[in-house]
Chains A and B, each alone.
Chain A
Amino acid sequence: MKNISFGQYYPAESIIHRLDPRTKVILAILYIVCSFVCQSAIGFTALIFSMLAIILISKIPIKTILRSIKPVIIIMVFMAFLNLFLVKGGVELTVWKITIYSKGIYTAVTSVLRVISLIIGTGIFLTYTTTPIELTDGIEQLFGFLKKIKIPVHEFAMMMTIALRFIPTLMEETDKIISAQKARGADFTNGSIVKRAKALIPILVPLFISAFRRADELAIAMECRCYRGGEGRTKLHVLRYRTRDFISMFIFIAFLAGLILINCFGVEYPFIENGWF
């Protein structure tokens, strides 16, 4: 259990780590838009290169990133197969009795590319380089305008911060309780489903008790420090946009504009029309 670091924050020294969390939220959104704007082969080539560039700049090992793609591989394979066999158009290609089309191949490849860029984009900007606390702070400020229509943004952000803050604590607690019950011979891996579900009771009961106890203690501790919600509260770490934030946003907007331009002037399936297949 110790191996699960929630939020997967990867501590490293990179320019992406140092960006303002608000910038990173915006960049993640821009990058998702980019991957959907892409249509031409040139566009997708640019997307692949941008992905590699972002990974290199973030200084996060490729291995870590591949691990985050692993859970969705099945979905990607499924998607690729559907596209491969169902999309018609372009040059026909018959192997044994199965007919596939060049357009099918193209959409299969591009849809997989889109999903990968989605995961890498959000992963690098949001989870790998930003601590959960920074992220909620950024989201709170980014959506601060919603306060005007009476949405308690600060309270939501506080709830999220507390929830995130306590995930590792509760995981550690769970770990301890599991060890303690194992020390008394509890068995969580063998037996029928009913038996295994029953084996969870000795973990869940103490875990709930301790979660409520912690919530109680935290509420009292906050009350003691006169916490009264967001009104008139100042921050310890004031978020400020710096030059690097503006530069990175400019680069992304330029990239998006470039992709749109390619779509306007570029040819959609160059190799199909040239008969490369």
Chain B
Amino acid sequence: MTKIKLENISYVYSPGTPYEVTALNDVSVDITEGTITGIIGHTGSGKSTLVQLLNGLEKPSSGRVLVDGTDIWEKPKEISKVRFKVGLVMQYPEYQLFEETIKEDIAFGPRNMGLDEAEIEERIALASSFVGLDEELLEKSPFDLSGGQKRRAAIAGIIAMKPDVLVLDEPAAGLDPLGRDEIFKSIVKYRNETGATVVIVSHSMEDMARLCDELIVMAHSKVVMQGNCREVFSNAGELEKIGLSIPQVTKLMMLLKEKGVCVDGGVYTVKDAVSELAKLFKIDH
């Protein structure tokens, strides 16, 4: 079932001035309920703008955004309800922490929803367990946390609103591999346990290949490809033309295939590649 549908969306910054920039040009996208959808694209391809349209932070210059089949701009006064439904974690969310303790910061969203204190407590506990924040950290100031911990606290602030759709803009940017894995693990956990739809924006093909069910490739303010990982990564040439790469392991398998080795060139995770190669050597894996 389609959770979010974008219909012929265009978005123009500063229209009518010399600074006019078209960020999105006639974009149509379907995001299926319960999937993890990845949006990949070069810097300036319109990814971040697209993501901000999903929860009504920006209003499209033309076109419609449908969440659960209803146009979110039908009742502009109730746009904040959409924002609770579609939780957006912006880039570098740790810079938005403002409360004295992590706990209070996580409570900001639920409090804006008008929940009672008992429910808020429950949500804080739930959200912090999803992202793997220890209880003792909750009473600390954001200044006392490491970069990775701050990032997770900020994500917990969105998860505490229990959004139907969790949208994350570059959630792993600037983190070390361990911090990155922890973030992705908590995202997958949230999806698996709540059945929520997840949208992730990223540059890293490896991460996207590992995480996502569906991929949307953007270039020059347009959607150029949309499909599952296998479909998208089979267009290696086209991806390279727009300045994107394919996962290293796919590159390797394609090379092998080119050299005449009988393997599937469309493999995009290391795990699949191992079993594919094991087949070749007739080893049980």
Contact = CB atoms under 8 A, between A and B. Distances in A.
Contacts of B52: 179
A3 B14 contact: yes
B237 to A, nearest CB: 36
B96 A11 contact: no
Interface string A156-177: 0000000000000000000011
Contacts of B93: 180
A184 B157 contact: yes
Interface of B is mostly: mixed
B112 A185 contact: yes
Q: How large is the interface on A (under 10, 10 to 19, 20 to 34, 35 or more residues)?
A: 20 to 34
A5 B14 CA distance: 10
Contacts of B4: none
Interface residues of B, number: 28
A2 interface: yes
A183 B95 contact: no
A12 B90 CA distance: 35
A187 interface: yes
Nearest to B77: A190
B57 A2 contact: no
Contact of A183 (B19, B83, B113): B83
Chain A contact residues: helix, strand, loop or mixed:
helix
Nearest to A204: B98
Given A176-B90, A202-B108, A184 B161 contact: yes
A77 interface: no
B98 A183 contact: no
Contacts of A187: 80, 112
B248 to A, nearest CB: 33
A12 B19 CA distance: 12
Contacts of A186: 108, 112
B55 A206 contact: no
A184 B57 contact: no
Nearest to A199: B112
B87 A206 contact: no
B88 A183 contact: yes
B97 A206 contact: yes
B243 interface: no
Contact of B14 (A2, A176, A206): A2
A131 to B, nearest CB: 13
A192 B104 CA distance: 23
Interface string A1-39: 011010000111000000000000000000000000000
B57 A179 contact: yes
B14 A185 contact: no
Contact of A184 (B18, B91, B108): B108
A270 B52 CA distance: 64
16 contacts: A3-B14, A3-B17, A5-B19, A10-B18, A176-B90, A177-B96, A179-B52, A182-B83, A183-B88, A184-B109, A184-B157, A185-B80, A185-B112, A202-B108, A206-B97, A206-B98
